[in-house]
Amino acid sequence: METKKILLTGDRPTGNLHIGHYLGSLHKRVEMQNSGKYQPYILIADAQALTDNADNPEKIRANIIEVCIDYLSVGIDPTKSTIGIQSYIYPLTELSFYYMNLVTLARLQRNPTVKAEMKQKNYGANVPVGFLTYPISQAADITAFNAEVVPVGDDQLPVIEQTCEIVNSFNRIYGETLTMPKAVLEENTTRHRLIGIDGNAKMSKSLGNTINLKDEPDVIKQKVMSMYTDPNHIHIEDPGQVEGNVVFTYLDAFSNDEQIASLTEYKTLNEMKEHYKKGGLGDVKIKKVLNEVLQQLLAPFREKRRTYENDKGQVMQILKSGSDKMLQVAQSTLDNVRTKMGINYFNDQNFTNKYLN
Ligand code: TRP
């Protein structure tokens, strides 16, 4: 039997997951999980979420179960994937502490992802040290499980690069120990970043422009109906613009021609776009189509979610057994790291024998 590749990825539990997460990463995770080629670990990165939410632990705490239910609702299967809570897996903290010696302050400050996030949060020099160093703790997340494959969004590439540098340094100094990971990106680049329902470049909870996986049908409909289209498309007869039009961007992302043919008089999405561009196709109509598409996407997730919401004890059990399993793996990596570093003193006969009579 072919051995399965170890896959690790994670999310900060700062809020419910939305259709941008689904498009950019969750659907791919489920696909990889179901391919049978991987052994997936999924980390709910609460410790990382706390690096910029130290004053709001309640938010993180409340979202652990929410994010876990989001995973389960889209098809993450706990018999195939292991889901764990980062802070419970305490060897990660100790690994981070040793990795810190292998990274310079200048290197952390150069990390484009961290730089962008710091700018967005207006931190300047008042950045929490924990936040600045989160790429180091993420290296611990990845190496603790010997992950070979790390599916992430393209914004995380510099963070994975930092992990690779740490792996290189560690193995060079202490001998071959850590596994070199590889980031894998969604190959379809239109899936990389979904714009918000307000047309903002990014769908994000903090911008309040998301459609959440758990949204109820009336909420989805109301969000779709309020969407930004083409400001110059005032009368139905006016020619409309498709580029930058949120409704068409989402139709591109979430529908296929077969579905368009079943919902409309058009055979393809392209045909529908041509009509819009020419004029004569109204915004209400295209929004109704998108509403249907999103309802069809999200209904099965919501249904699955209900079974877990009615049995949160089961979700807790999934989290506990996943976390326990991940704790064991991380502990064994830490033992190995300590041995390689020569600091596993009392398990090291070469050390203890010298001092025993
Ligand atoms: N930094 C990731 C994010 O913000 C979350 C994360 C934490 C992660 N640990 C990880 C991703 C390990 C991949 C691997 O989305």
DSSP string of 316-330?
A: HHHHHHHHHHHHHHH
314 CA → ligand 1 middle, Å: 25
Ligand 1 pocket, 74 CB below 6 A?
A: no
Q: Is the pLDDT of residue 188 over 80?
A: no
The answer to whether residues 136 and 98 touch, using CB atoms and an 8 Å cutoff, is: no
Q: What mean pLDDT do residues 293-315 have?
A: 97
**Could you tell me where in the chain the CATH 1.10.240.10 domains are found?**
217-307
Q: Indicate the pairing of strand 182-184 with strand 149-151.
A: parallel
Residue-wise pLDDT for 242-284, tens only, equals 999 999 999 999 999 999 999 999 999 999 999 999 999 999 9
Ligand 1 pocket, 141 CB below 6 A?
A: yes
**Predicted confidence band of residue 170 (pLDDT cuts 50, 70, 90):** very high
d(CA 338, CA 343): 5
d(CA 158, CA 296): 36
Q: What mean pLDDT do residues 81-98 have?
A: 98
d(CA 158, CA 178): 19
199 CA → ligand 1 middle, Å: 26
**Predicted confidence band of residue 193 (pLDDT cuts 50, 70, 90):** confident
**Could you tell me where in the chain the CATH 3.40.50.620 domains are found?**
5-193+312-356
CATH number for region 5-193+312-356:
3.40.50.620
Query: 134-144 and 91-99 helices cross at what angle (nearest 10)?
Result: 120
The answer to whether residues 208 and 234 touch, using CB atoms and an 8 Å cutoff, is: no
Hey, which of 26, 63, 138 would you mutate to test ligand 1's pocket, going by the most ligand atoms within 8 Å of its Cβ? 138
11 CA → ligand 1 middle, Å: 5
CATH number for region 217-307:
1.10.240.10
pLDDT of residue 2: 73
**Predicted confidence band of residue 186 (pLDDT cuts 50, 70, 90):** confident
Nearest ligand 1 atom, CA 153: 15
d(CA 63, CA 12): 9
Minimal-distance CA residue to ligand 1 atom 10? 10
263 CA → ligand 1 middle, Å: 38
Q: If DSSP codes are grouped into helix, strand and coil, which group holds residue 142?
A: helix
262 CA → ligand 1 middle, Å: 39
200: which 2 tokens? 């903002």
- Of residues 305, 335, 316, the one with CA closest to residue 88: 316
The answer to whether residues 13 and 46 touch, using CB atoms and an 8 Å cutoff, is: yes
In this structure, what DSSP letter does residue 36 have? T
46 CA → ligand 1 middle, Å: 10
In this structure, what DSSP letter does residue 264 have? S
Q: Could you tell me the sign of the dihedral formed by the alpha carbons of 208, 210, 216, 220, in that order?
A: positive
Ligand 1 pocket, 47 CB below 6 A?
A: no
**Predicted confidence band of residue 40 (pLDDT cuts 50, 70, 90):** very high
Ligand 1 pocket, 10 CB below 6 A?
A: yes
pLDDT of residue 356: 78
- Of residues 154, 142, 136, 141, the one with CA closest to residue 180: 142
Phi and psi dihedrals of 42, rounded to 5? -125, 125
Residue-wise pLDDT for 327-344, tens only, equals 999 999 999 999 999 999
Nearest ligand 1 atom, CA 8: 14
What's at 150, amino acid-wise?
Answer: V
Q: If DSSP codes are grouped into helix, strand and coil, which group holds residue 39?
A: strand
258 CA → ligand 1 middle, Å: 35
- Of residues 283, 185, 285, 298, the one with CA closest to residue 238: 283
